[in-house]
Structures are given as C-alpha cells and as structure tokens.
C-alpha cells in the first residue's frame, strides 16, 4: 500500500489506468473470483498544505527556494566554517527571524485549513448499509455507497441521483456555493431507479454505473447506468442533469438517494481547488532586477577588497603586523585556499547591502495595505450589501500601472436586469403597454377593445416564449395559484401572485415574465409535464427532449408533445445561430427588425419552431438517444444530433430586451481615458447592439470616426481591409478613431496579420470586439500582454465566460453581478459596480505604487560593525518608519486624484522604479556612506578624548581614538540620517508616522545605552562596554553628528526644491495648488464628515479615532474658511468615505 502511494506521488503509477470507471451501486461486486476492485479516493477533503510530519522540511524547502533566503543561508554557513570579520549571528539571527515569522504565518493559515477540513470531513451523513440507514461521518463515504440527503442539506460527494420523494424521481438543487447561481436547477433520475424510494428497495437494487474519470468541468458528465431487472439489463444514459455535485444544496425536495460516484479530492468541487498561475507585479520584477545588480556590486566589492588586501600585504611590515600575528597553519596554507577564504570573508563583511528584511517588509505592506481596499466605504454597495474583496494582495501596486482595460459589457457596464421592450411577430412589430401586446402605431392609451385578440402566429410565438426555457418556479403556498384576479390586468385572466420565477439567464426570466403579463403564463413544471395558462385556459405539454444551450451553438431548444398529441420543436437563440436554419416565415422583415432593436441597444433573440411528423420524430428520438448514451465523444455526437434536428425551421419572430446601463459608467470610462488608459469592450452581443451601448456609455463618442472590421471571409479580404483602415488613420491625424471588430474577423486577423491588426488598434482611441467567444477574449488580452511594449493589462467581467480573460490579464477584477460568482472567485479583486474601478485605480493604485516604489528603493539605499548592531539595523532600527510610510503615505488628497485623472500618467510605465531612479538612490547611498565614514574620520580623528579599546599607533606616533568608538559614531549618524531621509520623503503625517520616526531614533539611543552600559555575562567579549556613553560625553561627537547629517541631507533638500519649481510633475503642481486651500482638522473625514453623518459607522469611527485623532464635530460644521475646487455635483464621489482619507480636509466639504 505504501509503495503504491509512493509510486503515485512520483508519477510512476497513475491512479486511473483506464478512461472510464465502473461503480457498483451499494458495492455489490461481481461474485466471480477474477474481479479486481478499482481503487478510489476516500471522501476526505484536504485543502491543507502541510501535515505535522512534513511541515518543517517542506516549509523550509519552499522558503529557501527564494534566492535571498538561500543567499543568506550560504553566508551563514560560510561564517560557521571560516574565520570571518563578523559573527555568524549577524546573518543567522535575521535569517532565523524572517524564516520563523513566515513559517508561523503559513503554519497558522494551514492550521485554519486543517480545522475547516475536519469540520467538513466529520459532518454526519446517512448511508444505506446492510439493509438499514446508518449514520456515519462524511469522510467514511466510499464510492458506490448509497447516500441519503434531506432538504436544505449539502451533498457530501458527487452523487448520481437514484430516486427522490417525488414519483417522477426529480429534485431541485441550487449551486450557489459552486458557481453563485441562485436559481433552482432540476435534476433527474432514470425511471428504473426512481421507483426505489425505500431502504429495502435500494438494498435490493442491482445496478452498475459506468462513467468518465474525474475532471474539473462542473458542467460536464458522461455516463450510463445498467439496471438488472428479472435478469434483463436495461441501459440508460446519465448526463449532467443526473449528477448532484458536492457542495450543492437540496431545495424544495424532502429527501433524495444517490450513489457516490466521485469522492473526496476527486469530486468536481475539489478538482477546482487547483491554484491559479502566479501573477507577479512589475514592481516585484524590478525588485528582483535590483537584487541581481546589488549581488553584482557585492561580488565586485569582495573581489576588489581581496586584491587590495594582497596589495597592502605586499610590504613586509603590513604582511604580519605586531597586532595580528599569523599562526603556523596560516603561514603554510595554500595561497589559493587563502585567497578564497579572504574573498568569502569580505563577502560576509559586505553582505548587508542585500537587505534580508526587504521581503518580509514588502509582504507585510501588501498584506496590511490590502485591508484599506476592503474598508473603503466608497467601494461599498449599499443596495446589495457588498464590499470590495481582495483575493490577491500581491498585485496592489499593479493597480497603479494599468494601461489597457478589457471589459465585458453585459453585467459589467450594464445592470444585467432585463426588461422586455419590443418584439417582432410574423413580420410585424409589437410593444408591451400595460400588460398588453400593442402593434406598432397604436397609441399607449388605446381602449381595451381596440387591442386585437392574439391568434395564430402571435399566440404560437408567445407559447414558444413560455415553453422554450429552463426557468424554475417557486411557490409561497402549496397550491401555487390564487383565486383572485386583482393583481393583474383582466387580460391575463388569472392571478399568480404567489409564484416566482428563477432562471440562470436574466433574458429568459424577462421573457417568461413578459409573456405572463401579456396573458400566456408558464405555471408549472413537474417532471416531464410543462403547464401554461393561455388567457385563462390551461394547457399541458409533455417535455420529450431538452437541447441545452451552449456557447458554440448559441441557441437552445425543447421538443414537446402538444395537448393534441403532435410533436413540436421550439428554438430560440442569437439571430446568427437561428436565421440561417429557417426556411419559412417573414425572414427578411424579422432580420430588419432585429437590426432596429440592436440599434436601440436592445438584446435580441430569434424564436422559431418545427413540427414533426410521427416518422420524423422517431428518427429524431433515435439520433438523440444514440448520442446521449455514447460513452466516447458524446459532446461531438450530441452536437451533430442537435444540428440535424434544429433545421428546416419556421421563423416565428424576435424579441428585444433592454439591459440598463450601470450608474456612472460614462464618467468612469472618461476618467480612465483622461488617465491615459485605453478601454476595450469585449462582448458576445451582435455588433449593432454593442455599438449602441458603446455610444450610450461614452466608450465611443458621437464625433468619433468608427472603423469596422466585420464579416471578413478570407485572409486576403481581412488583410486588405486592415490596410484600408491603416491608410484612413494615417490620412487623418485629428479625428479620434474607434474600431469595431467581430469574432470571425478577429480570428482571421490574428492568424496571419497580427502585426497589422495591432498597428491599427494602437492608433484607435477605443476598440469594440463583438461576437466574442470566451477563449477569444483571453487571446486578445494575451496578444497585448505579450506585445513588444509589454503594457500592463486589466480585465474586468462578471460571468463565467469572463474567467479566461480575468486569469490571463495582469490584474483580474470580478464584478459581483447576477451571473454567478465564478468571475469573483477567479479574480484578483472583486467590486460590486464598474464605477468603483475609477477609485480603485486612480486612488488606491496611485497610493500603493508610490508607497511600494519608495519602500523598495529606500531599502536598497540604507543598505558595518558589532554583530548585534548589524543584526538589529534592518530589523528594528530602520524598519518601522518605512513600513508605516508604505501603509499611509498620500502625495495628494484622494479627491484630487479622482477629479484629476491625468495625475495617473505621472506613475505610468513603472516610472518611479526606472533604472535612472534606481541609480540615483544607489549613488545617494554610496555618497552618504562615504560622508559617514570620512566625515567622522576627519572631524573626530584628532580628538584624544575619544580613546578606547582597539587603540593603534599612527605613523606620526599620535594616538588614534578607538575603532569601536569610531564605528559607533558612523553607525549613529547612519541610523539618524536614513530615518530623516524618509521623513523628507513623507508628505502625509499621522501620529503613527511621528511615533515610529522619532521613536526609532529614541529606541536606538536607549538600546545603545542599555547594551553598552551593562556587563553581559553570556557574551564572550564586551567590546561595546561604555563606548556609547563615552561617545555621547564628547561635544565634538555631537557637533560631528549634526554637521554630517546636514551635509548628507542638505543637497537632497536643494534638489527637491529645484526640481519642484523648475520641472514640477502634475502631482507636484496639484500639491502646491491644493495645499493653501486645505485646513487642518483633527477628524476622520471618512466617517464623520460626509452628508449622512455617523450612522452605522460608530464602531469603525471609534477605531479610527484611536489611529488618527478624535473628530471635532464643531470643526466639521464650522463656517467656511476655504474653498474647494470640487462640489457635491462632481461626477466622482464627492462623499469620500474611504478609510484612506486620513488627511486634513476643509470644512466646506464636510
């Protein structure tokens, strides 16, 4: 058993050797002796990463894969093996601190996962064993067990439905925890097992399930069940409608019985746990580049110092001075080994230019900083009670670098709330007025008697709309229908105020509700029976087959048996997916009406039907049954069968449904454009609808020259059209251009003419891609992501069809819409509305990028001496000020950033981490280091009052002050200077900034006095004893400290003033313009100075008051002392309730 497990882990013994698995219901295995049972996973869910046995080795291995940690491990080992100038503690203690902190964090997170796993695996379940219902734990379920699930319980494994408390063997479930869809879905059992509703019947059931091996696709299941009755084997197909997924919940059904097909980590939910590809920000890539450069500098310093040492020792008097006599072993050692040993010693001595604490500080900054997005009340949507989510804090600074935004249309730019507006029936246009279908041209206030009775084609159209769908019905009362008729127009003829529709598609729900208002209501769906009420008359249809919707066909169909016994097919879908298969009806008129609807921005669907003769239906049923029972290539065979059936259609009409634009979409797109961000809209709608919505939302301007790349049929035609578009763009440099391209043309353009297509797109201000498949969306994002310019891309969407582009983009944002939660679960960030994207990028992105860029460069700048000081330098003395800076720094007020989107351009293309900026910080660090050393040497070198241990004789025979005193002076100047340097970079001061800045300097002095003022018994040497006290007792030392600090920082101040006045950036101009208008108020604007007062926020307000000071209500409502450049009528969030807004504010805004 153990050997098999090891072989599986190494990949030599795959657990599934065949493409299918055979499951014996109730584990009734064949009795012949040749049968070898298949091995299946148990039902334990394991989301944890470690066990108690492998935590230490596995965690250490993962941490030392990071180059900085591995480097310091090598340095630590070198210090242990050879005689080096510094103690191994100088490398070992910081490394141990970083490794320990990271291990504790990861261990705690894994312990929480273990705890959650144990709760799930220990949940009680009921299984049928030995003729009775037995309670056990979820982890004990085996493949083949018959499991009982009651109403409102979740399914503990992937189950094939055997029976339910309903006679037809159906049940309703909701998969909200899997894909976010809250609609009820109907699942079916086969007739031979549906009758087994008792434990005794199930125990006697002889059945075998054959199905595919586990895969992660939630919407795909291919299998069949063979039931043995009276020694006769009956084979029935099993599809997705028969599989109850783990994590889904049973609804509106008392209980069901199902056989476990996939268990534990082989269930579809668990297979979707797999990690997404790791995204790395541009700042992280720059940081790694800088680290490599500093490693090169370190090696150069070590080699140069080794060479200079041997050059110095070329003279006999310095080869073996009196204070450093060689041992006999050193005199006889190999020159090569001695050179290597000296090189390693210098490598150890200089290794502190590589800041080990950089990584842990960056991780803490990103983790803590991500909470500001979640706490931002401007990103909170009150109607849906949803706040922003951060799924990946590693990309916070990437929000400030976005150059291209790729957005979905439906549900992202629009509300995804569909309202029926118009329809076309048999070539005539109609619209809904007061619950009646009114032909075009009639007045809204026409009397009831003027409304023609719907007969013939019109009635058939409404019946098709009421029957061709997958809508579910929920009733508040058991009878489902009331007796009164008050709630609806008398045209309906009935009342259904207790009935509510649930649909996976908002379009379907809108159409069924519209048909109900008009008078043809879908009232009941029970098993194979669909019931409608047509102007008070009940009609029952038998559902024979459901041809499910898929993205390739772009249509769905139902085959029904009418009350008169005839067989009819109803089909609805996109006009491009239905019209080519129609042979009768008003095709051209309907096509014209569809185009008119699309120009109004309406979503269109075409409805058609086909009547079958008895012989035709037998043939159709044969094709469908053969395709559904196939175990191999079932999807392909089903597609062939669907295409065979959905032909020779009679066109009934088309529908136009309105999808309302979200609030402030136009203002948000305009702000992104002013910020230098290009916006692409990628949608599956037809191009007329997409263009209309683009114009209404401001993506396209009315004055923009719209270029089209549509309906290209060949590579040559596509190339020629692209050349024509390129010439038009080059000939006119003034007018802005917009490009519309459809999916088919896009495929041709990317196949052979990618470069030409990209050239055209780069010269367009806005691009609209319509009729796009999900993979095409991802392909477009990948095209720009990997282009020579390497722009930072952002993808935003709300549906499952947007997941691929969200995962492909540098930054993926999910909209918490009505199409489930797949986009949110697979995104890096999630927001409730598209308008929140403006603040997320222009404010949060701006702040995060500036903070992390300064943090990284500051760490390399401030990057010897007593081992304890070297150990604590980056960990204690200088780490807190930069961490607090990186959490709270604001160059300008958030309102200014939102009202002046152009400021976003100041930080684009990773400008603050360019090589030029990096070189400036590096040279500044070297210059300051030279000033520290030689300034101290020059100013204190002749001071005889500072003699200490380590005394040496100079050439002029004068006593030089002690080495430890000299080093302490250099170190003191360094700590104060690097801290004050950060203070100069800080524009936004809170009490925390003051506390950690001046507190770090004070802590250094207190620690030095404490460390050097006591004889520590556990230290081998006490080189620092009384050194710091002796240093501070000298007036010349204090004078040197002040002069050296001023010498270091004064040129930096002059440079800032010079550049601010002669070459100011847009951000600096905004600072100077807004500074005089800002009045200092000791209050938290985000909670107590917005128009709705403090209601609902008192607890958070009290917390923030502890952080940034109490709010004085009188100040908030004081008379105006200054004027703001914005008002409450501005497009962007005049009520900034963000927790980020800790800066001073003016009274007028309160």
Q: Known catalytic residues? A: 408
Q: How many CB atoms lie within 10 A of CB 276?
A: 14
Contact 926, 698 (CB under 8 A): no
Whole-angstrom Cα distance, residue 551 to residue 804?
A: 14
Burial 934-953 (b: 16+ CB within 10 A, else e): ebbeebbeebeebebebeee
* Helix, coil or strand: residue 565: coil
Residues 6+ apart with CB under 8 A from 267: 157, 158, 214, 245, 246
- Tell me the C-alpha distance between 80 and 84, whole Å: 9
* DSSP assigned state of 82: S
Q: What are phi and psi of 943, to 5 degrees?
A: -80, 105
**Helical packing angle, 89-121 and 357-375, nearest 10°:** 40
Please give the order of strands across the beta sheet that includes 171-175: 181-187, 171-175, 249-251
The H or E element spanning position 502 is strand 499-502
Angstrom distance (rounded) from CA 757 to CA 729: 13
Tokens of 783: 């095209």
Q: Give the residue from 199, 191, 133 showing the smallest Cα distance to 166.
A: 191
Residue with tokens 């500098």: 297
The percent of the chain in helix, strand and coil, each rounded to the nearest 5, is 45, 20, 35
Residues 204/230, Cβ–Cβ less than 8 Å: no
Kindly report the three-state secondary structure assignment for every residue of 143-202. Answer: CCCEEEEECCCECCCEEEEEEECCCCCCEEEEEHHHHCEEEEEEECCCHHHHCCCCHHHH
**What's the distance, CA 551 to chain centroid?**
24
The secondary structure of residue 650, as a DSSP letter, is E
d(CA 841, CA 830): 13
Instruction: Name, in order, each residue with C-beta under 8 angstroms of 572's C-beta and a sequence gap of 6 or more.
Output: 464, 465, 468, 555, 556, 557, 578, 605, 606, 607, 608
Angle (CA) 711-713-718 rounded to 5° is 80
End-to-end CA distance of the chain: 71
User: How many angstroms separate the most distant Cα atoms in the chain?
Assistant: 123
Q: What is the DSSP string of 1054-1100?
A: HHHHHHHHHS--HHHHHHHHHGGGPPP-SS-HHHHSSTTTTTT-HHH
**What Cα–Cα distance (Å) separates residue 145 from each residue in 130, 156, 213, 333?**
11, 12, 18, 75
User: How far is 1113 from 1064, CA to CA, in rounded Å?
Assistant: 37
3-state secondary structure of 243: strand
Q: Which of 870, 857, 885, 878 is nearest to 975 (CA)?
A: 878
- In 3D, which of 65, 107, 251 has the Cα closest to residue 173? 251
For residues 462 and 540, what is the distance between their CA atoms, to the nearest angstrom?
15
């Amino acid at each position: 058993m153990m050997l098999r497990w090891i072989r599986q882990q190494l990949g030599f013994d795959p657990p599934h050797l065949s493409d299918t698995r055979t499951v014996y219901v109730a584990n009734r295995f064949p009795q012949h002796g040749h049968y070898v049972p298949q091995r299946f996973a148990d039902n334990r869910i394991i989301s944890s990463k470690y066990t108690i046995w492998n935590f230490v080795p596995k965690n250490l291995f993962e941490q030392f894969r990071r180059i900085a940690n591995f480097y310091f491990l090598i340095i630590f080992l070198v210090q242990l093996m050879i005689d080096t100038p510094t103690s191994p503690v100088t490398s070992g203690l910081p490394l141990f601190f970083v490794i320990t902190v990271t291990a504790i964090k990861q261990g705690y997170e894994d312990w929480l996962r273990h705890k959650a796993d144990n709760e799930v695996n220990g949940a009680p379940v009921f299984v049928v064993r030995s003729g009775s219902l037995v309670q056990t734990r979820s982890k004990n379920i085996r493949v083949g067990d018959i499991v009982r699930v009651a109403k409102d319980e979740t399914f503990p494994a992937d189950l094939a439905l055997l029976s339910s408390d309903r006679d037809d063997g159906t049940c309703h479930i909701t998969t909200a925890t899997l894909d976010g869809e809250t609609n009820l879905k109907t699942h079916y059992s086969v007739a031979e097992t549906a009758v087994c509703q008792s434990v005794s019947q199930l125990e006697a059931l002889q059945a075998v399930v054959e199905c595919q091996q586990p895969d992660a696709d939630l919407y795909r299941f291919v299998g069949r069940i063979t039931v043995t009755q009276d020694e006769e084997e009956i084979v029935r197909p099993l599809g997705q409608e028969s599989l109850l997924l783990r994590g889904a919940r049973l609804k509106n059904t008392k209980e069901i019985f199902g056989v476990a097909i996939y268990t534990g980590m082989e269930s579809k939910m668990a297979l979707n746990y797999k990690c997404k590809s790791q995204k790395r920000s541009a700042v992280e890539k720059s940081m790694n580049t800088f680290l490599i450069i500093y490693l090169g500098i370190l090696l150069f310093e070590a080699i140069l110092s080794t060479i200079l040492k041997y050059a110095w020792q070329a003279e006999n008097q310095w080869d073996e001075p009196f204070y450093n006599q060689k041992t006999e072993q050193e005199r006889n050692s190999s020159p090569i080994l001695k050179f290597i040993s000296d090189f390693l010693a210098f490598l150890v001595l200089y290794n502190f230019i590589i800041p080990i604490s950089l990584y842990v500080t960056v991780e803490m900054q990103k983790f803590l900083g991500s909470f500001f997005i979640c706490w931002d009340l401007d990103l909170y949507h009150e109607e849906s009670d949803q706040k922003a989510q951060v799924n990946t804090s590693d990309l916070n600074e990437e929000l400030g670098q976005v150059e291209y935004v790729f957005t979905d249309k439906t549900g992202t730019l629009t509300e995804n709330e569909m309202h029926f507006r118009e329809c076309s029936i048999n070539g005539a246009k109609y619209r809904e007025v007061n619950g009646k279908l009114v032909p075009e041209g009639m007045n809204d206030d026409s009397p009831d008697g003027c409304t023609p009775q719907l007969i013939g084609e019109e009635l058939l159209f409404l019946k098709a709309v009421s029957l061709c769908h997958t809508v579910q019905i929920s009733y508040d009362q058991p009878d489902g229908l009331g007796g009164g008729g008050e709630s609806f127009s008398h045209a309906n003829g009935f009342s259904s105020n207790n009935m509510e529709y649930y649909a996976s598609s908002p379009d379907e729900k809108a159409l069924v509700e519209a048909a109900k208002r008009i008078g043809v209501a879908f009232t009941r769906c029970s098993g194979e029976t669909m019931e409608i009420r047509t102007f008070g008359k009940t009609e029952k249809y038998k559902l024979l087959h459901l041809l499910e919707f898929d993205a390739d066909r772009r249509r769905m169909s139902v085959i029904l048996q009418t009350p008169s016994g005839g067989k009819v097919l109803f089909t609805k879908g996109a006009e491009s997916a239905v019209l080519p298969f129609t042979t009768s009806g008003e095709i051209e008129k309907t096509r014209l009406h569809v185009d008119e609807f699309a120009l109004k921005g309406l979503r269109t669907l075409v409805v058609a039907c086909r009547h079958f003769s008895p012989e035709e239906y037998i043939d159709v049923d044969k094709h469908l049954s053969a395709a559904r029972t196939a175990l191999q290539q079932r999807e392909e065979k089903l597609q062939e069968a669907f295409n065979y059936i959905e032909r020779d259609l009679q066109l009934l009409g088309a529908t136009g449904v309105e999808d309302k634009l979200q609030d402030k979409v136009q203002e948000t797109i305009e702000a992104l454009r002013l910020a230098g961000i290009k916006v692409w809209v990628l949608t599956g709608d037809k191009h007329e609808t997409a263009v209309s919505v683009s114009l209404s939302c401001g993506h396209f301007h009315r004055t923009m020259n719209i270029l089209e790349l549509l309906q290209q049929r060949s590579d040559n035609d596509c190339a020629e059209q692209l050349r024509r578009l390129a010439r038009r763009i080059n000939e006119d440099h003034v007018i802005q251009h917009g490009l519309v391209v459809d999916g088919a043309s896009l495929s041709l353009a990317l196949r052979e003419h990618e470069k030409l297509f990209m050239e055209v797109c780069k010269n367009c201000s806005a691009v609209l891609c319509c009729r796009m498949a999900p993979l095409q969306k991802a392909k477009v994002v990948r095209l720009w992501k990997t282009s020579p310019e390497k722009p930072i891309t952002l993808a935003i969407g709300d549906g499952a069809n947007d997941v691929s582009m969200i995962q492909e983009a540098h930054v993926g944002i999910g909209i918490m819409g009505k199409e489930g939660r797949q986009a949110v679960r697979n995104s890096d960030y999630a927001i409730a509305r598209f308008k929140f994207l403006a603040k997320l990028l222009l404010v949060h992105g701006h702040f995060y990028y500036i903070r992390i860029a300064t943090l990284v460069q500051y760490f390399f700048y401030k990057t010897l001496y007593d081992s304890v000081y070297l150990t604590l330098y980056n960990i204690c003395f200088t780490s807190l000020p930069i961490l607090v800076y990186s959490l709270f720094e604001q160059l300008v007020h958030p309102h200014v950033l939102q009202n002046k989107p152009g400021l976003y351009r100041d930080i684009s293309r990773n400008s603050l981490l360019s090589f030029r900026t990096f070189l400036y910080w590096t040279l500044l660090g070297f210059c300051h280091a030279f000033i520290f050393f030689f300034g101290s040497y020059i100013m204190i070198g002749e001071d005889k009052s500072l003699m200490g241990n380590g005394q040496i004789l100079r050439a002029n025979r004068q006593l030089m002050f002690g080495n430890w005193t000299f080093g302490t002076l250099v170190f003191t100047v360094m700590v104060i200077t690097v801290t004050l340097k950060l203070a100069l970079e800080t524009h936004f001061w809170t009490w925390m900034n003051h506390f950690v800045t001046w507190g770090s300097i004070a802590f250094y002095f207190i620690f030095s006095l404490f460390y050097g003022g006591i004889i520590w018994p556990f230290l081998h040497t006490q080189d620092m004893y009384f050194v710091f006290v002796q240093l501070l007792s000298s007036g010349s030392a204090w004078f040197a400290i002040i002069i050296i600090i001023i010498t270091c920082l004064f040129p930096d101040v002059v440079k800032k003033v010079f550049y601010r006045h002669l070459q100011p950036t847009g951000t600096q101009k905004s600072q100077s313009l807004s500074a005089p208008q800002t009045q200092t108020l000791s209050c938290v604007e985000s909670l107590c100075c917005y128009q709705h007062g403090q209601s609902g926020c008192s607890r958070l307000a009290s917390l923030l008051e502890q952080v940034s000071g109490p709010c004085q209500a009188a100040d908030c409502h004081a008379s105006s002392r200054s004027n703001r450049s914005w008002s409450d009528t501005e497009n962007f969030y005049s009520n900034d309730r963000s927790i980020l807004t800790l800066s001073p504010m003016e009274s007028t805004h309160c």
